[in-house]
Chain A
Amino acid sequence: MIDPRVAIREGVAATRSAHMRAMRLSGGDGAWETVSLLCASEIFLRDRQMLHGLWLDDRARPIFDVYVLRDDDAFVFVGESEMDVVAHARDHLRGGAVLDDFATTHDVISLNGPFAWELLGELFGPDTIGLPYLGALRRDATWVLRAGKTGEFGYDLIVAKDETARLTARIDEVGARFDLAWAALDVVEQCMLENWFFNVRREGRASLDVTPLELQLQWRASRKRAFIGSEALAERRNRGIARRVITLVSSARMNDGDDVALDGERIGTIVNAGGARHGSVEASFVALALVDVAWAHPHVDAFTVGGLAARSVTPPLPNNRSLAINLQQHAYATRDEIAFGPLWDR
Chain B
Amino acid sequence: MTRDELAESIRRREDVVTRVRKVLVEALAVRRELDEIDPDAPLFGTGLGLDSVDAVELVVSLETEFGIRFPQSTSAKRAMRTVGTVTDVVMFLMGASP
Of the listed stretches B40-48, B53-61, B62-70, name the one at the interface; the rest are far from the partner chain: B40-48
Residue of A nearest to B13 (CB): A297
A192 touches B (CB below 8 Å): no
B75 CB to nearest chain A CB (Å): 7
Contact A298 B74 (CB under 8 A): no
Known contacts A297-B13, A302-B1, A219 near B42 by CB under 8 Å: yes
Contact A319 B78 (CB under 8 A): yes
Contact A298 B3 (CB under 8 A): no
B8 touches A (CB below 8 Å): no
Size of interface on A: residues with Cβ below 8 Å to B:
30
CA distance A84 to B53 in the complex (A): 41
| The 8 residue pairs across chains A and B that have the minimum distance between CB atoms | A216-B38, A314-B84, A52-B46, A133-B45, A323-B77, A297-B10, A218-B36, A216-B40
User: Which residues of A are found within 8 Å of B6, using beta-carbon distances?
Assistant: 295, 300, 302
Contact B84 A324 (CB under 8 A): no
A141 touches B (CB below 8 Å): no
A196 touches B (CB below 8 Å): yes
Contact A299 B97 (CB under 8 A): yes
What string of 1s and 0s marks CB contacts (under 8 Å) between B59-96 and chain A? 00000000000000011011001101101100000000
Residue of B nearest to A262 (CB): B3
Known contacts A219-B42, A302-B1, A314 near B85 by CB under 8 Å: yes
Interface of A: prevailing SS: loop
B14 CB to nearest chain A CB (Å): 8
Known contacts A297-B13, A297-B39, A299-B98, A196 near B46 by CB under 8 Å: no
User: Which residues of B are found within 8 Å of A218, using beta-carbon distances?
Assistant: 32, 36-38, 41
B15 touches A (CB below 8 Å): no
Residue of B nearest to A133 (CB): B45
Contact A196 B82 (CB under 8 A): yes
CA distance A234 to B45 in the complex (A): 26
Task: Kindly list 12 other residue pairs between chains A and B, CB separation below 8 angstroms, not including A51-B46, A295-B10, A323-B77.
Answer: A196-B40, A216-B39, A216-B40, A217-B38, A218-B32, A219-B32, A219-B41, A219-B48, A223-B33, A294-B10, A297-B13, A297-B14
Contact A219 B33 (CB under 8 A): no
Residue of B nearest to A195 (CB): B81
Residue of B nearest to A212 (CB): B38
Q: What are 10 A-B interface contacts by the 8 Å CB criterion?
A: A134-B45, A217-B38, A218-B36, A218-B41, A297-B39, A299-B98, A300-B10, A302-B1, A314-B84, A314-B88
